Amino acid sequence: MPEIPVLRARNRALIPLLLLGIALVAIASLMLGAVPIPTARLLDAALGHGDPVVRAILLELRLPRTLVALMVGGMLGLAGAALQGYLRNPLAEPSVLGASNSAALGAVAAIYFGIGDYSPAVLPVLSILAALASLALLFVLAGRAEGPLALILAGIAVSTLAGAGISLALNLSPNPFAAMEIMAWLLGSIENRAMDHVWIALPCIVGGAALLLWDGRALDALSLGEDGARSLGVDLARTRARLLLGVAIGVGGAVAVSGSVGFVGLIVPHLVRPLTDRSPSAVLLPSFLGGAALLTGADILVRLIPTAGELKLGVVTAFLGVPVFLVHLLKERRLW
Amino acid sequence: MVTVTLNGLSVDLRDRAVLHGISATLRPGELTGIIGPNGAGKSTLVRALLGLIPATRGAVEIDGHDIARMTPKALARLVSYLPQGQALHWPLSVERLVALGRLPGLGPMSRLGADDLAAVHAAMKRADVLHLAGRTATELSGGERARVMLARALAVGAPGLVADEPLAALDPGHQIDVMELLAAEANSGALVVTVLHDLTMAARYCKRLLLVDRGMLVAQGSPQEVLTSDRLRAVYGVTGRIEFGGGSAMVVPLERV
Protein backbone atom coordinates (compact mmCIF):
# COMPACT_ATOMS: atom_id res chain seq x y z
CA MET A 1 0.00 0.00 0.00
CA PRO A 2 1.35 3.46 -0.81
CA GLU A 3 2.59 5.49 2.10
CA ILE A 4 0.69 8.49 3.35
CA PRO A 5 3.73 10.35 4.55
CA VAL A 6 2.42 13.08 6.83
CA LEU A 7 -0.08 10.94 8.72
CA ARG A 8 2.67 8.49 9.58
CA ALA A 9 5.70 10.56 10.39
CA ARG A 10 3.97 13.31 12.29
CA ASN A 11 6.49 14.68 14.72
CA ARG A 12 6.99 11.59 16.82
CA ALA A 13 9.79 13.38 18.63
CA LEU A 14 7.60 16.18 19.97
CA ILE A 15 6.24 14.49 23.10
CA PRO A 16 9.59 12.95 24.17
CA LEU A 17 11.29 16.31 23.63
CA LEU A 18 8.69 18.12 25.70
CA LEU A 19 9.04 15.51 28.45
CA LEU A 20 12.80 15.97 28.39
CA GLY A 21 12.28 19.72 28.58
CA ILE A 22 9.99 19.32 31.57
CA ALA A 23 12.54 17.11 33.34
CA LEU A 24 15.30 19.67 32.78
CA VAL A 25 13.19 22.62 33.91
CA ALA A 26 11.96 20.72 36.94
CA ILE A 27 15.52 19.86 38.02
CA ALA A 28 16.56 23.46 37.44
CA SER A 29 13.59 24.60 39.50
CA LEU A 30 14.75 22.36 42.36
CA MET A 31 18.33 23.63 42.14
CA LEU A 32 17.90 27.37 41.57
CA GLY A 33 16.72 30.02 43.97
CA ALA A 34 17.92 32.20 46.83
CA VAL A 35 20.06 29.25 47.98
CA PRO A 36 21.45 27.40 44.96
CA ILE A 37 21.67 23.67 45.53
CA PRO A 38 24.33 21.97 43.40
CA THR A 39 23.63 18.66 41.71
CA ALA A 40 25.61 16.56 44.16
CA ARG A 41 23.73 17.86 47.18
CA LEU A 42 20.45 17.57 45.30
CA LEU A 43 21.17 13.86 44.83
CA ASP A 44 22.18 13.48 48.45
CA ALA A 45 18.99 15.09 49.66
CA ALA A 46 16.87 13.08 47.27
CA LEU A 47 18.43 9.87 48.56
CA GLY A 48 17.51 10.84 52.12
CA HIS A 49 20.83 11.93 53.61
CA GLY A 50 22.94 15.07 53.53
CA ASP A 51 22.40 18.45 55.10
CA PRO A 52 18.98 18.64 56.84
CA VAL A 53 18.63 22.33 55.93
CA VAL A 54 19.12 21.55 52.27
CA ARG A 55 16.62 18.71 52.59
CA ALA A 56 14.10 21.04 54.20
CA ILE A 57 14.50 23.65 51.44
CA LEU A 58 14.21 20.99 48.82
CA LEU A 59 11.32 18.93 50.15
CA GLU A 60 9.26 21.59 51.87
CA LEU A 61 9.80 24.59 49.60
CA ARG A 62 11.16 23.79 46.18
CA LEU A 63 9.47 20.44 45.54
CA PRO A 64 5.89 21.58 46.21
CA ARG A 65 6.52 24.82 44.35
CA THR A 66 7.86 22.94 41.33
CA LEU A 67 5.00 20.45 41.40
CA VAL A 68 2.43 23.24 41.61
CA ALA A 69 4.10 25.06 38.70
CA LEU A 70 4.06 21.92 36.55
CA MET A 71 0.44 21.11 37.34
CA VAL A 72 -0.91 24.62 36.99
CA GLY A 73 1.05 25.35 33.81
CA GLY A 74 -0.02 22.06 32.28
CA MET A 75 -3.65 22.56 33.15
CA LEU A 76 -3.75 26.12 31.81
CA GLY A 77 -2.05 25.07 28.56
CA LEU A 78 -4.39 22.12 28.08
CA ALA A 79 -7.51 24.13 28.92
CA GLY A 80 -6.46 26.79 26.41
CA ALA A 81 -5.88 24.20 23.70
CA ALA A 82 -9.18 22.43 24.38
CA LEU A 83 -11.16 25.68 24.39
CA GLN A 84 -9.50 26.96 21.22
CA GLY A 85 -10.43 23.69 19.57
CA TYR A 86 -13.95 23.55 20.92
CA LEU A 87 -14.83 27.18 20.25
CA ARG A 88 -12.86 27.08 16.98
CA ASN A 89 -11.36 30.36 18.00
CA PRO A 90 -7.62 30.96 18.30
CA LEU A 91 -8.27 33.71 20.85
CA ALA A 92 -9.88 31.39 23.38
CA GLU A 93 -8.07 30.89 26.68
CA PRO A 94 -8.92 29.29 30.02
CA SER A 95 -10.55 32.43 31.34
CA VAL A 96 -12.93 32.83 28.41
CA LEU A 97 -15.75 30.86 30.03
CA GLY A 98 -15.45 32.62 33.36
CA ALA A 99 -13.95 29.75 35.36
CA SER A 100 -10.74 31.67 36.18
CA ASN A 101 -12.47 34.81 37.34
CA SER A 102 -15.00 32.86 39.37
CA ALA A 103 -12.28 30.80 41.04
CA ALA A 104 -10.46 34.06 41.78
CA LEU A 105 -13.66 35.49 43.25
CA GLY A 106 -13.93 32.49 45.56
CA ALA A 107 -10.38 33.06 46.77
CA VAL A 108 -10.92 36.82 47.12
CA ALA A 109 -14.03 36.16 49.21
CA ALA A 110 -11.96 33.94 51.48
CA ILE A 111 -9.40 36.74 51.93
CA TYR A 112 -12.03 39.47 52.25
CA PHE A 113 -14.01 37.73 54.98
CA GLY A 114 -10.82 36.58 56.65
CA ILE A 115 -11.97 32.96 56.64
CA GLY A 116 -8.79 31.89 54.89
CA ASP A 117 -6.98 32.10 58.21
CA TYR A 118 -8.76 29.08 59.73
CA SER A 119 -7.00 26.60 57.50
CA PRO A 120 -4.78 26.80 54.41
CA ALA A 121 -7.36 24.62 52.64
CA VAL A 122 -10.23 27.12 52.94
CA LEU A 123 -9.08 29.45 50.17
CA PRO A 124 -8.45 26.83 47.47
CA VAL A 125 -11.58 24.86 48.32
CA LEU A 126 -13.74 27.98 48.16
CA SER A 127 -12.08 28.85 44.89
CA ILE A 128 -12.90 25.48 43.35
CA LEU A 129 -16.48 25.68 44.59
CA ALA A 130 -16.82 29.11 42.97
CA ALA A 131 -15.53 27.71 39.67
CA LEU A 132 -18.14 24.95 39.82
CA ALA A 133 -20.86 27.49 40.63
CA SER A 134 -19.83 29.48 37.57
CA LEU A 135 -20.19 26.32 35.52
CA ALA A 136 -23.75 25.86 36.75
CA LEU A 137 -24.52 29.45 35.79
CA LEU A 138 -22.94 28.89 32.38
CA PHE A 139 -25.17 25.87 31.78
CA VAL A 140 -28.25 27.87 32.71
CA LEU A 141 -27.26 30.69 30.34
CA ALA A 142 -26.08 28.66 27.36
CA GLY A 143 -26.75 25.02 28.15
CA ARG A 144 -28.94 24.22 25.18
CA ALA A 145 -27.43 26.38 22.49
CA GLU A 146 -25.25 24.56 19.99
CA GLY A 147 -22.96 27.13 18.44
CA PRO A 148 -19.87 28.49 20.14
CA LEU A 149 -21.09 32.08 20.13
CA ALA A 150 -23.82 31.65 22.75
CA LEU A 151 -21.30 29.94 25.00
CA ILE A 152 -18.70 32.68 24.56
CA LEU A 153 -21.28 35.36 25.34
CA ALA A 154 -22.48 33.50 28.42
CA GLY A 155 -18.84 33.03 29.46
CA ILE A 156 -18.22 36.76 29.14
CA ALA A 157 -21.30 37.43 31.27
CA VAL A 158 -20.16 34.99 33.98
CA SER A 159 -16.61 36.30 33.84
CA THR A 160 -17.69 39.93 34.07
CA LEU A 161 -20.00 39.18 36.96
CA ALA A 162 -17.18 37.49 38.88
CA GLY A 163 -14.87 40.39 37.97
CA ALA A 164 -17.45 42.79 39.36
CA GLY A 165 -17.50 40.78 42.58
CA ILE A 166 -13.72 41.04 42.84
CA SER A 167 -13.90 44.81 42.26
CA LEU A 168 -16.55 45.06 44.94
CA ALA A 169 -14.32 43.23 47.41
CA LEU A 170 -11.44 45.61 46.60
CA ASN A 171 -13.76 48.59 46.82
CA LEU A 172 -15.17 47.64 50.20
CA SER A 173 -12.04 46.10 51.67
CA PRO A 174 -11.88 47.03 55.36
CA ASN A 175 -8.23 48.14 55.30
CA PRO A 176 -5.42 48.70 52.79
CA PHE A 177 -3.73 45.48 53.88
CA ALA A 178 -6.71 43.37 52.88
CA ALA A 179 -6.81 45.16 49.53
CA MET A 180 -3.07 44.58 49.11
CA GLU A 181 -3.48 40.92 49.95
CA ILE A 182 -6.25 40.56 47.40
CA MET A 183 -4.22 42.38 44.72
CA ALA A 184 -1.18 40.27 45.44
CA TRP A 185 -3.22 37.13 45.11
CA LEU A 186 -4.80 38.30 41.86
CA LEU A 187 -1.36 38.87 40.30
CA GLY A 188 -0.70 35.16 40.56
CA SER A 189 2.09 33.50 42.45
CA ILE A 190 3.16 30.08 43.57
CA GLU A 191 5.56 31.24 46.24
CA ASN A 192 5.49 29.40 49.56
CA ARG A 193 3.33 26.60 48.33
CA ALA A 194 3.26 23.51 50.52
CA MET A 195 2.46 19.91 49.75
CA ASP A 196 -1.08 20.67 51.02
CA HIS A 197 -1.57 22.81 47.93
CA VAL A 198 -0.32 20.00 45.74
CA TRP A 199 -2.81 17.57 47.27
CA ILE A 200 -5.67 20.04 46.84
CA ALA A 201 -4.91 20.85 43.22
CA LEU A 202 -3.82 17.40 42.07
CA PRO A 203 -7.22 15.63 41.99
CA CYS A 204 -8.86 18.64 40.31
CA ILE A 205 -6.18 18.86 37.66
CA VAL A 206 -6.02 15.12 37.01
CA GLY A 207 -9.81 14.99 36.68
CA GLY A 208 -10.03 18.13 34.58
CA ALA A 209 -7.18 17.07 32.30
CA ALA A 210 -8.69 13.62 31.79
CA LEU A 211 -12.04 15.14 30.78
CA LEU A 212 -10.36 17.49 28.32
CA LEU A 213 -8.03 14.88 26.80
CA TRP A 214 -10.97 12.50 26.30
CA ASP A 215 -12.59 14.63 23.61
CA GLY A 216 -9.73 15.18 21.19
CA ARG A 217 -11.47 13.32 18.39
CA ALA A 218 -14.65 15.32 18.86
CA LEU A 219 -12.64 18.55 18.70
CA ASP A 220 -11.11 17.38 15.42
CA ALA A 221 -14.55 16.65 14.03
CA LEU A 222 -15.73 20.10 15.08
CA SER A 223 -13.27 21.68 12.66
CA LEU A 224 -15.94 20.75 10.09
CA GLY A 225 -18.61 22.68 11.99
CA GLU A 226 -21.40 21.38 14.22
CA ASP A 227 -23.30 19.51 11.50
CA GLY A 228 -20.09 18.05 10.14
CA ALA A 229 -19.12 16.82 13.60
CA ARG A 230 -22.50 15.30 14.33
CA SER A 231 -22.56 13.55 10.99
CA LEU A 232 -19.28 11.94 12.09
CA GLY A 233 -21.04 10.50 15.13
CA VAL A 234 -20.02 13.10 17.71
CA ASP A 235 -22.49 13.57 20.56
CA LEU A 236 -22.17 17.34 20.88
CA ALA A 237 -24.14 17.67 24.12
CA ARG A 238 -21.88 15.20 25.93
CA THR A 239 -18.76 16.70 24.43
CA ARG A 240 -19.80 20.12 25.69
CA ALA A 241 -20.67 18.82 29.15
CA ARG A 242 -17.29 17.06 29.49
CA LEU A 243 -15.42 20.09 28.21
CA LEU A 244 -17.12 22.61 30.49
CA LEU A 245 -16.77 20.34 33.50
CA GLY A 246 -13.12 19.68 32.69
CA VAL A 247 -12.36 23.40 32.39
CA ALA A 248 -14.25 24.33 35.56
CA ILE A 249 -12.65 21.62 37.70
CA GLY A 250 -9.17 21.84 36.22
CA VAL A 251 -8.85 25.61 35.91
CA GLY A 252 -10.66 26.06 39.22
CA GLY A 253 -8.09 23.79 40.88
CA ALA A 254 -5.21 25.58 39.17
CA VAL A 255 -6.37 29.09 40.03
CA ALA A 256 -7.09 27.93 43.59
CA VAL A 257 -3.40 27.32 44.26
CA SER A 258 -1.76 29.89 42.00
CA GLY A 259 -4.02 32.91 41.64
CA SER A 260 -4.63 34.36 38.21
CA VAL A 261 -1.74 33.45 35.96
CA GLY A 262 -2.55 34.83 32.55
CA PHE A 263 -1.27 34.20 29.03
CA VAL A 264 -0.03 30.62 29.47
CA GLY A 265 -3.35 29.20 28.34
CA LEU A 266 -3.48 31.51 25.35
CA ILE A 267 0.07 31.28 24.02
CA VAL A 268 1.11 27.70 24.71
CA PRO A 269 -1.34 26.16 22.24
CA HIS A 270 -0.17 28.65 19.61
CA LEU A 271 3.47 27.80 20.27
CA VAL A 272 3.04 24.05 19.99
CA ARG A 273 0.48 24.03 17.17
CA PRO A 274 3.03 24.55 14.34
CA LEU A 275 4.97 21.55 15.68
CA THR A 276 1.90 19.32 15.25
CA ASP A 277 -0.41 18.64 12.32
CA ARG A 278 -2.55 21.54 13.63
CA SER A 279 -5.57 19.40 14.37
CA PRO A 280 -7.13 20.29 17.73
CA SER A 281 -6.52 16.82 19.19
CA ALA A 282 -2.83 16.86 18.33
CA VAL A 283 -2.36 20.12 20.23
CA LEU A 284 -3.86 18.92 23.54
CA LEU A 285 -1.11 16.85 25.16
CA PRO A 286 1.77 18.99 23.86
CA SER A 287 -0.03 22.03 25.28
CA PHE A 288 -0.18 20.37 28.69
CA LEU A 289 3.52 19.51 28.59
CA GLY A 290 4.53 22.85 27.08
CA GLY A 291 2.45 24.78 29.62
CA ALA A 292 4.04 22.82 32.46
CA ALA A 293 7.56 23.56 31.20
CA LEU A 294 6.81 27.20 30.44
CA LEU A 295 5.27 28.05 33.79
CA THR A 296 8.01 26.25 35.71
CA GLY A 297 10.59 28.17 33.68
CA ALA A 298 8.80 31.46 34.36
CA ASP A 299 8.76 30.63 38.06
CA ILE A 300 12.54 30.13 37.99
CA LEU A 301 12.85 33.61 36.46
CA VAL A 302 10.69 35.03 39.26
CA ARG A 303 13.25 33.72 41.72
CA LEU A 304 16.35 34.79 39.80
CA ILE A 305 15.44 38.29 38.62
CA PRO A 306 16.57 40.68 41.39
CA THR A 307 13.80 43.17 42.16
CA ALA A 308 13.00 45.39 45.12
CA GLY A 309 9.71 43.72 45.95
CA GLU A 310 8.86 40.14 45.03
CA LEU A 311 8.04 39.70 41.37
CA LYS A 312 4.73 37.91 40.74
CA LEU A 313 4.50 34.95 38.41
CA GLY A 314 1.48 36.32 36.54
CA VAL A 315 3.42 39.47 35.73
CA VAL A 316 6.36 37.52 34.34
CA THR A 317 4.20 35.27 32.16
CA ALA A 318 2.46 38.32 30.70
CA PHE A 319 5.76 40.09 29.96
CA LEU A 320 7.30 36.95 28.49
CA GLY A 321 4.15 36.00 26.69
CA VAL A 322 3.34 39.10 24.73
CA PRO A 323 6.52 39.37 22.61
CA VAL A 324 6.69 35.63 21.99
CA PHE A 325 3.05 35.66 20.99
CA LEU A 326 3.40 38.64 18.67
CA VAL A 327 6.41 37.23 16.83
CA HIS A 328 4.62 33.94 16.48
CA LEU A 329 1.41 35.50 15.16
CA LEU A 330 3.32 37.53 12.58
CA LYS A 331 4.92 34.33 11.31
CA GLU A 332 1.67 32.40 11.25
CA ARG A 333 -0.79 34.98 10.05
CA ARG A 334 -0.94 33.76 6.49
CA LEU A 335 -2.78 30.70 7.78
CA TRP A 336 -5.64 32.56 9.38
CA MET B 1 -26.24 -1.17 0.49
CA VAL B 2 -28.85 0.83 2.32
CA THR B 3 -32.27 2.16 1.50
CA VAL B 4 -33.65 5.26 3.19
CA THR B 5 -37.38 5.61 3.65
CA LEU B 6 -39.06 8.87 4.60
CA ASN B 7 -42.39 8.10 6.26
CA GLY B 8 -44.60 11.18 6.41
CA LEU B 9 -41.63 13.24 7.60
CA SER B 10 -42.59 16.61 9.08
CA VAL B 11 -40.15 19.00 10.73
CA ASP B 12 -40.93 22.12 12.72
CA LEU B 13 -38.10 24.54 13.46
CA ARG B 14 -38.84 27.01 16.26
CA ASP B 15 -42.57 26.29 15.95
CA ARG B 16 -42.52 27.03 12.22
CA ALA B 17 -43.49 24.09 10.04
CA VAL B 18 -40.69 23.64 7.50
CA LEU B 19 -41.43 20.19 6.10
CA HIS B 20 -44.91 18.74 5.68
CA GLY B 21 -45.43 15.00 5.52
CA ILE B 22 -42.75 13.97 3.05
CA SER B 23 -42.81 10.33 1.99
CA ALA B 24 -40.28 8.88 -0.38
CA THR B 25 -37.92 5.97 -0.77
CA LEU B 26 -34.29 6.64 -1.63
CA ARG B 27 -32.60 3.66 -3.19
CA PRO B 28 -28.97 2.75 -3.67
CA GLY B 29 -27.48 2.60 -7.13
CA GLU B 30 -29.23 5.66 -8.53
CA LEU B 31 -28.01 9.22 -8.01
CA THR B 32 -30.91 11.05 -6.37
CA GLY B 33 -31.19 14.82 -6.62
CA ILE B 34 -33.20 17.05 -4.31
CA ILE B 35 -34.20 20.26 -6.08
CA GLY B 36 -36.41 23.20 -5.25
CA PRO B 37 -36.28 26.97 -4.84
CA ASN B 38 -34.47 28.75 -2.00
CA GLY B 39 -36.23 28.28 1.31
CA ALA B 40 -38.18 25.27 0.09
CA GLY B 41 -36.78 23.10 2.86
CA LYS B 42 -34.12 21.16 0.95
CA SER B 43 -31.41 21.62 3.55
CA THR B 44 -33.86 20.85 6.34
CA LEU B 45 -34.87 17.69 4.53
CA VAL B 46 -31.23 16.67 4.24
CA ARG B 47 -30.50 17.45 7.87
CA ALA B 48 -33.53 15.48 9.03
CA LEU B 49 -32.46 12.62 6.78
CA LEU B 50 -29.09 12.58 8.58
CA GLY B 51 -30.66 12.80 12.01
CA LEU B 52 -29.14 16.25 12.62
CA ILE B 53 -32.60 17.57 13.47
CA PRO B 54 -35.36 15.40 14.89
CA ALA B 55 -38.53 14.61 12.96
CA THR B 56 -41.51 16.38 14.51
CA ARG B 57 -43.87 13.83 13.04
CA GLY B 58 -43.19 10.80 10.90
CA ALA B 59 -39.82 9.13 10.70
CA VAL B 60 -36.69 8.52 8.66
CA GLU B 61 -35.83 4.86 8.38
CA ILE B 62 -32.65 3.26 7.13
CA ASP B 63 -33.30 -0.33 6.06
CA GLY B 64 -36.41 -0.29 8.21
CA HIS B 65 -34.73 1.07 11.38
CA ASP B 66 -35.87 4.42 12.72
CA ILE B 67 -32.79 6.66 12.86
CA ALA B 68 -34.14 8.39 15.97
CA ARG B 69 -33.30 5.18 17.85
CA MET B 70 -29.78 4.82 16.49
CA THR B 71 -26.66 6.07 18.27
CA PRO B 72 -24.89 8.95 16.52
CA LYS B 73 -21.94 6.66 15.76
CA ALA B 74 -24.04 3.89 14.26
CA LEU B 75 -25.80 6.42 12.05
CA ALA B 76 -22.50 8.05 11.07
CA ARG B 77 -21.20 4.72 9.84
CA LEU B 78 -24.25 4.28 7.59
CA VAL B 79 -24.53 7.71 6.00
CA SER B 80 -21.78 10.26 5.48
CA TYR B 81 -22.49 13.92 4.96
CA LEU B 82 -20.94 16.62 2.83
CA PRO B 83 -22.25 19.85 4.37
CA GLN B 84 -22.90 23.02 2.44
CA GLY B 85 -20.15 25.62 2.27
CA GLN B 86 -16.96 23.63 2.95
CA ALA B 87 -16.51 25.03 6.45
CA LEU B 88 -13.06 24.28 7.86
CA HIS B 89 -12.00 25.98 11.06
CA TRP B 90 -8.35 24.96 11.32
CA PRO B 91 -5.58 24.99 8.69
CA LEU B 92 -5.31 21.20 8.53
CA SER B 93 -3.33 19.35 5.92
CA VAL B 94 -5.42 17.73 3.20
CA GLU B 95 -4.61 14.24 4.46
CA ARG B 96 -5.47 15.08 8.00
CA LEU B 97 -8.75 16.55 6.83
CA VAL B 98 -9.66 13.51 4.76
CA ALA B 99 -8.69 11.30 7.70
CA LEU B 100 -11.42 13.00 9.77
CA GLY B 101 -13.78 10.79 7.80
CA ARG B 102 -12.52 7.80 9.79
CA LEU B 103 -13.75 9.21 13.10
CA PRO B 104 -17.04 7.28 13.28
CA GLY B 105 -15.03 4.06 13.56
CA LEU B 106 -12.56 5.32 16.17
CA GLY B 107 -12.83 5.41 19.92
CA PRO B 108 -11.62 8.34 22.01
CA MET B 109 -7.83 8.77 22.01
CA SER B 110 -7.32 5.83 19.63
CA ARG B 111 -5.10 6.01 16.59
CA LEU B 112 -5.70 5.44 12.90
CA GLY B 113 -5.02 1.84 11.92
CA ALA B 114 -3.73 0.42 8.64
CA ASP B 115 -7.24 -0.08 7.28
CA ASP B 116 -8.09 3.53 8.12
CA LEU B 117 -5.05 4.73 6.21
CA ALA B 118 -6.03 2.49 3.28
CA ALA B 119 -9.54 3.97 3.28
CA VAL B 120 -8.14 7.51 3.43
CA HIS B 121 -5.85 6.74 0.51
CA ALA B 122 -8.62 5.15 -1.52
CA ALA B 123 -10.96 8.08 -0.91
CA MET B 124 -8.28 10.57 -1.95
CA LYS B 125 -7.63 8.58 -5.08
CA ARG B 126 -11.32 8.46 -6.00
CA ALA B 127 -11.68 12.21 -5.54
CA ASP B 128 -8.36 12.73 -7.40
CA VAL B 129 -6.69 14.71 -4.60
CA LEU B 130 -3.69 12.47 -3.87
CA HIS B 131 -1.35 15.10 -5.29
CA LEU B 132 -2.70 17.62 -2.76
CA ALA B 133 -1.97 15.36 0.24
CA GLY B 134 0.57 17.58 1.97
CA ARG B 135 -1.07 20.92 1.18
CA THR B 136 -2.91 23.01 3.73
CA ALA B 137 -6.61 22.65 3.07
CA THR B 138 -7.46 26.27 3.84
CA GLU B 139 -5.07 27.44 1.11
CA LEU B 140 -6.59 25.42 -1.72
CA SER B 141 -8.70 26.85 -4.53
CA GLY B 142 -12.46 26.40 -4.32
CA GLY B 143 -12.44 23.54 -6.80
CA GLU B 144 -9.62 21.68 -5.07
CA ARG B 145 -11.25 22.18 -1.71
CA ALA B 146 -14.58 20.85 -2.94
CA ARG B 147 -12.89 17.65 -4.08
CA VAL B 148 -10.96 17.36 -0.82
CA MET B 149 -14.17 17.75 1.17
CA LEU B 150 -15.75 15.11 -1.00
CA ALA B 151 -12.81 12.81 -0.31
CA ARG B 152 -13.38 13.41 3.40
CA ALA B 153 -17.00 12.28 3.04
CA LEU B 154 -15.96 9.25 0.97
CA ALA B 155 -13.32 8.26 3.53
CA VAL B 156 -16.09 7.39 5.98
CA GLY B 157 -16.71 4.33 3.80
CA ALA B 158 -20.42 4.52 4.55
CA PRO B 159 -22.92 2.90 2.18
CA GLY B 160 -24.79 6.20 1.98
CA LEU B 161 -23.63 9.72 1.07
CA VAL B 162 -25.63 12.92 1.37
CA ALA B 163 -24.25 16.10 -0.20
CA ASP B 164 -25.77 19.53 0.34
CA GLU B 165 -25.18 21.78 -2.66
CA PRO B 166 -21.79 20.34 -3.58
CA LEU B 167 -21.64 22.51 -6.74
CA ALA B 168 -21.95 25.89 -5.05
CA ALA B 169 -19.14 28.26 -6.08
CA LEU B 170 -17.60 25.81 -8.55
CA ASP B 171 -16.72 26.54 -12.16
CA PRO B 172 -18.34 24.38 -14.89
CA GLY B 173 -15.39 22.01 -15.17
CA HIS B 174 -15.30 21.32 -11.45
CA GLN B 175 -19.08 20.99 -11.38
CA ILE B 176 -18.83 18.20 -13.93
CA ASP B 177 -16.00 16.58 -11.94
CA VAL B 178 -18.09 16.50 -8.78
CA MET B 179 -21.25 15.27 -10.51
CA GLU B 180 -19.34 12.50 -12.26
CA LEU B 181 -17.85 11.45 -8.97
CA LEU B 182 -21.22 11.36 -7.26
CA ALA B 183 -22.72 9.43 -10.19
CA ALA B 184 -19.84 6.95 -10.08
CA GLU B 185 -20.40 6.41 -6.36
CA ALA B 186 -24.08 5.76 -6.99
CA ASN B 187 -23.34 3.41 -9.88
CA SER B 188 -21.03 1.41 -7.66
CA GLY B 189 -24.01 0.63 -5.44
CA ALA B 190 -23.98 3.46 -2.91
CA LEU B 191 -26.98 5.48 -1.88
CA VAL B 192 -26.11 9.00 -3.03
CA VAL B 193 -28.44 11.94 -2.41
CA THR B 194 -27.50 15.48 -3.37
CA VAL B 195 -29.16 18.87 -3.11
CA LEU B 196 -28.75 20.79 -6.37
CA HIS B 197 -29.64 24.19 -7.74
CA ASP B 198 -28.31 23.66 -11.23
CA LEU B 199 -31.22 22.01 -13.03
CA THR B 200 -29.15 21.06 -16.07
CA MET B 201 -26.73 19.15 -13.86
CA ALA B 202 -29.66 17.57 -12.05
CA ALA B 203 -31.26 16.54 -15.32
CA ARG B 204 -28.05 15.21 -16.79
CA TYR B 205 -26.59 13.22 -13.91
CA CYS B 206 -29.44 12.27 -11.57
CA LYS B 207 -31.45 9.14 -12.17
CA ARG B 208 -34.14 10.37 -9.87
CA LEU B 209 -35.26 13.80 -8.65
CA LEU B 210 -37.30 14.95 -5.68
CA LEU B 211 -38.81 18.39 -6.20
CA VAL B 212 -39.51 20.21 -2.94
CA ASP B 213 -41.57 23.37 -2.72
CA ARG B 214 -42.71 25.16 0.44
CA GLY B 215 -41.91 22.17 2.56
CA MET B 216 -43.83 19.69 0.44
CA LEU B 217 -42.67 17.06 -1.98
CA VAL B 218 -44.42 18.18 -5.17
CA ALA B 219 -42.92 15.69 -7.59
CA GLN B 220 -40.61 12.72 -7.72
CA GLY B 221 -39.43 10.54 -10.53
CA SER B 222 -37.00 10.60 -13.43
CA PRO B 223 -35.72 14.00 -14.57
CA GLN B 224 -38.03 13.89 -17.62
CA GLU B 225 -41.04 13.28 -15.40
CA VAL B 226 -40.15 15.95 -12.84
CA LEU B 227 -38.71 18.77 -14.93
CA THR B 228 -41.57 20.12 -17.01
CA SER B 229 -42.16 23.72 -18.05
CA ASP B 230 -45.39 23.78 -15.99
CA ARG B 231 -43.46 22.89 -12.87
CA LEU B 232 -40.68 25.40 -13.58
CA ARG B 233 -43.40 28.01 -13.80
CA ALA B 234 -45.34 26.88 -10.72
CA VAL B 235 -42.40 26.12 -8.41
CA TYR B 236 -39.57 28.40 -9.50
CA GLY B 237 -41.69 31.08 -11.13
CA VAL B 238 -39.64 31.04 -14.35
CA THR B 239 -40.03 30.04 -17.94
CA GLY B 240 -37.39 27.74 -19.25
CA ARG B 241 -36.02 25.85 -22.18
CA ILE B 242 -36.07 22.15 -21.46
CA GLU B 243 -34.47 19.59 -23.73
CA PHE B 244 -33.97 15.93 -23.10
CA GLY B 245 -32.07 14.12 -25.79
CA GLY B 246 -29.38 11.52 -25.46
CA GLY B 247 -26.88 12.28 -22.72
CA SER B 248 -27.08 16.03 -23.05
CA ALA B 249 -30.19 17.10 -21.18
CA MET B 250 -30.52 20.83 -20.71
CA VAL B 251 -32.75 22.96 -18.50
CA VAL B 252 -32.13 26.66 -18.91
CA PRO B 253 -34.24 29.20 -17.01
CA LEU B 254 -35.18 32.10 -19.27
CA GLU B 255 -37.23 34.72 -17.44
CA ARG B 256 -39.44 35.41 -14.43
CA VAL B 257 -43.17 34.97 -14.90
HSE-up (13 A, CA, CB side) for residue A24 = 8
Q: Which residues of A touch B (CB under 8 A)?
A: 1-2, 4-8, 85, 88, 213-218, 220-225, 227-228, 230-235, 277-280, 335-336
Please tell me the distance from the alpha carbon of residue A322 to that of residue A319, in angstroms, as a whole number: 6
Taking the CA of residue A201 and the nearest CA in chain B, the distance in Å comes to 25
Does a structural domain hold residue A6?
no
The number of domains in chain A is 1
Domain B4-87+157-256 sits in CATH 3.50.50.60: no
Domain that holds residue A272: 15-335
Whether B213 contacts B37, CB under 8 Å: yes
Query: Average pLDDT in the A90-105 region?
Result: 88
Give the minimum alpha-carbon distance from A214 to chain B in angstroms, rounded to a whole number. Answer: 6
Q: A170: exposed, middle or buried (C-beta count within 10 Å: 0-12, 13-18, 19+)? A: middle
Q: Is residue A72 part of a domain?
A: yes
Alpha carbons A176 and A180: distance in angstroms, whole number = 6
Instruction: Please determine, for residue A4, whether its predicted confidence score (pLDDT) is greater than 60.
Output: no
Statement: residue A192 has pLDDT above 90: no
Q: What is the CATH number of the domain that holds A287?
A: 1.10.3470.10
How much is the average pLDDT of A32-51?
A: 78
Residue of A nearest to B114 (CA): A1
Asked if pLDDT for residue A8 goes beyond 50, the answer is no
pLDDT at B8 over 80: yes
Residue A145 lies in a domain: yes
Q: Dump pLDDT digits (tens) for B85-144.
A: 777 888 888 999 999 999 888 866 667 888 889 999 999 999 889 999 889 888 898 888
- The number of C-alpha atoms within 13 Å of A180 and in the hemisphere containing its C-beta is 3
- Interface probe, candidates A1, A219, A227, chain B, greatest B C-beta count within 10 A: A227
Q: Which pairs count as long-range contacts for B245-254, CB under 8 Å and 24+ apart, including other chains?
A: B247/B204, B248/B204, B249/B200, B249/B203, B249/B204, B249/B223, B250/B200, B250/B203, B250/B204, B251/B199, B251/B200, B251/B202, B251/B203, B251/B227, B252/B200, B253/B199
pLDDT tier for residue A319 given thresholds of 50, 70 and 90: confident
Q: What is the pLDDT of residue A336?
A: 52
Q: For A235-267, write each residue's pLDDT tens digit.
A: 888 898 899 899 989 998 998 889 888 888 988
User: B92 and A223 in contact by Cβ < 8 A?
Assistant: yes
**A222–chain B nearest CA distance, Å:** 8
In angstroms, rounded to a whole number, what is the distance separating the alpha carbons of residues A107 and A202? 18
What are the tens digits of pLDDT across the range A110-120?
Answer: 888 888 778 77
Q: Is residue B206 over pLDDT 50?
A: yes
CA B70/CA B75 separation, integer angstroms: 6
**Any domain includes A10:** no
Average pLDDT estimate for A193-201: 86
The answer to whether residue A9 is domain-embedded is: no
